[in-house]
Structure 1
Amino acid sequence: MNHYSWTDIGVNLTDSSFDNDRNEVIEQAFSQGIDKLIITGTTLKESLAALHLCQRYPNQLYCTVGIHPHYAKDHASADLHELEALVKEAGVVAIGETGLDFNRNLSPPEQQITSFIAQLEIASNHQQPLFLHERDAHTKQLEILKAHRDDFTHAVIHCFTGSKQALYNYLDLDLHIGITGWICDERRGLELQKLVKEIPADRLMLETDAPYLLPRDIKPKPKSRRNTPSYLPHIANVVAGLVDKELAQLNEEVQQTTYDFFNLSA
């Protein structure tokens, strides 16, 4: 499996769980054939940290810059201006993680919506793709995306775990779909296992969402239960089986889609 090159489109490398071994985790990923990592920005501070990390690994590490819906309440409009200033920095490849999360409502829905629309406008202004989060907010998120669809270039629903109808709604808007180790879960991932073959090859991308969502079928399980980008080939292998493709074909398709989406070069 290691002779294929992969891109992990969603890694929370600024998370504190990596503070003691971040460089080792990155090097381990490279050794497993993950040749590019896209670090997820979730707040202004984390987006800056992600950008600084990218600058140490040019052409290998990239990042998104954004404000996750959980943190919408903590950011004033001045932060959004500062966020917009980061867009032109080398290594920044998307706006996000942004969207709506009505499951936990760690920020009030209205503030989430305001923050989301502001980031949609930043993406539109700079013709940057969007890295999107959505949980228990499909109806509202779809409504907002439809209203702005003519303005932004493209977007990926990161860590998709929704219904068949939600998948088709997003595909109808020409959005991309990010698949994580959730698909390896024999309890929660059953519907996604059936749905993944419905995703067109030029819309599918892969991610770990590390340190979260350690694939449940990894053996042996790491003692820490921490997910790392090194497990991306495992997720790819599971997806290849579910879509009934040779790993080589899936690899070629996913890499092409990812490079096109994020405007990366080999």
Structure 2
Amino acid sequence: MKRYIDIAVNIIGNSMETRLEQVLADAASVGVSPIINIGSSLAESQASLELCQRFPKQMWTTAGTHPHHASQWDQHSQEQLRQLCQQPWVVAVGECGLDYNRDFSPRPMQRQAFSQQLALACELGLPVLMHERDAHDDFLAILKEYRPQLSRALLHCFTGTQAQMEAYIEQDLYLGITGWVCDERRGQELAEVVKHIPADRLLIETDSPYLLPRSMRPKPKSSRNEPKYLPVISDSIASLRQQDSQEFAEQCYLNSQRFFKLD
């Protein structure tokens, strides 16, 4: 059986949280294990930690503050995050970054929260899992300040252009690709870009419960995405890259193990 690691799942606060045992079993039945849940706020990161303790080795977590929640970041947040990140189930700082698409938090507060989380990742020697939407220039400028001290850095749910991809690869980033690449409406540019991402810098993710692959046949009754659909994304990218699906899946699995230092 092919092996997969879903490197970005959003479990807290939706139906997957109440069905987590079944969600994990369904994923494992198609080779998807473990999964990495995303901490989008300090409270969510704490809740995710508690789930990881219930499902050891099946689930890991990041801990951080998403740019949507950057307005909650205050003078105590960095120390609170430092305590969370010292727990053994935390494999990365994040999800942190910039989102100028929705601007749910003021941009100066987004930049401050992003910078302080990058600084903490450098201090703790942890990798960082990042988010960027419509903020490429500011994101890259801040990242460059800290990149020499960061152990490893991942931009998850990458949907950018060829030029943006090249700029991020120049900074030795890993790029996470979702079911966006399976969307015939919005994903056509990404379907071309993904062909050129270096094999050792490519990771795959569902970003569940979002971004259900539109290419799935038959279509699931629910529009909710789940980790069990990661093989669909993997096979789609392998086809676009004209790679053997088994070899591609294994490459991504090993990339994920290496990035997050998983056994």
CA deviation profile, 1:53-108 (whole Å, cap 9, x unmatched): 11112122111000000000023221221111111211110000000000100000
Aligned residue in 1 for 2:7: 9
Q: How many residues align?
A: 263
Please say if residues 175 and 203 of structure 1, whose CA atoms lie closer than 8 Å, have aligned partners that are also in contact. Answer: yes
Aligned residue in 1 for 2:131: 133
Q: Secondary structure at the match of 1:231?
A: helix
Does the alignment pair 1:182 with 2:199? no
Correspondence 1:54-93 to 2 at 5 A: 54-93=52-91
Residue 153 (structure 1) aligned to one of 142, 151, 171: 151
> How far apart, CA to CA, are the structure 2 residues paired with 1:254 and 1:36?
13
Aligned residue in 1 for 2:247: 249
Aligned residue in 1 for 2:203: 205
Aligned residue in 2 for 1:166: 164
Please say if residues 4 and 250 of structure 2, whose CA atoms lie closer than 8 Å, have aligned partners that are also in contact. Answer: no
Q: Which moved more, 1:21-30 or 1:94-103?
A: 21-30
Deviation at 1:253, TM superposition (A): 1.1
TM, length-normalised to structure 2: 0.97
Q: Which moved more, 1:68-77 or 1:166-175?
A: 68-77
* Aligned-partner residue type, residue 151 of structure 1: Q
> How far apart, CA to CA, are the structure 2 residues paired with 1:237 and 1:15?
29
Please say if residues 215 and 235 of structure 1, whose CA atoms lie closer than 8 Å, have aligned partners that are also in contact. Answer: yes
Q: Secondary structure at the match of 2:11?
A: coil
* Aligned-partner residue type, residue 259 of structure 1: Q
Tell me, which stretches of 5 or more residues in structure 1 are unaligned?
A: none
Aligned residue in 2 for 1:106: 104
CA deviation profile, 1:34-59 (whole Å, cap 9, x unmatched): 01100000000110111111111212
Q: Secondary structure at the match of 1:238?
A: helix
Q: Which moved more, 1:72-81 or 1:222-231?
A: 72-81
CA deviation profile, 1:178-237 (whole Å, cap 9, x unmatched): 000000000100011111111111100000000000111112323331000000001000
> How far apart, CA to CA, are the structure 2 residues paired with 1:53 and 1:26?
12
Q: Which moved more, 1:90-99 or 1:10-19?
A: 10-19
Please say if residues 164 and 195 of structure 1, whose CA atoms lie closer than 8 Å, have aligned partners that are also in contact. Answer: yes
Identical amino acids, percent of aligned pairs: 44
* Aligned-partner residue type, residue 154 of structure 2: V
Q: Secondary structure at the match of 1:42?
A: coil
TM, length-normalised to structure 1: 0.96
Q: Would the alpha carbon gap of residues 93 and 20 (structure 1) be closer, same or farther in structure 2, given more than 3 Å must change?
A: closer
> How far apart, CA to CA, are the structure 2 residues paired with 1:196 and 1:262?
22
> How far apart, CA to CA, are the structure 1 residues paired with 2:56 and 2:110?
32
Q: Which moved more, 1:134-143 or 1:46-55?
A: 46-55
Aligned residue in 2 for 1:259: 257
* Aligned-partner residue type, residue 16 of structure 1: N
Q: Which moved more, 1:109-118 or 1:57-66?
A: 57-66
How large is the Cα RMSD of the aligned pairs? 1.0
Please say if residues 3 and 250 of structure 2, whose CA atoms lie closer than 8 Å, have aligned partners that are also in contact. Answer: no
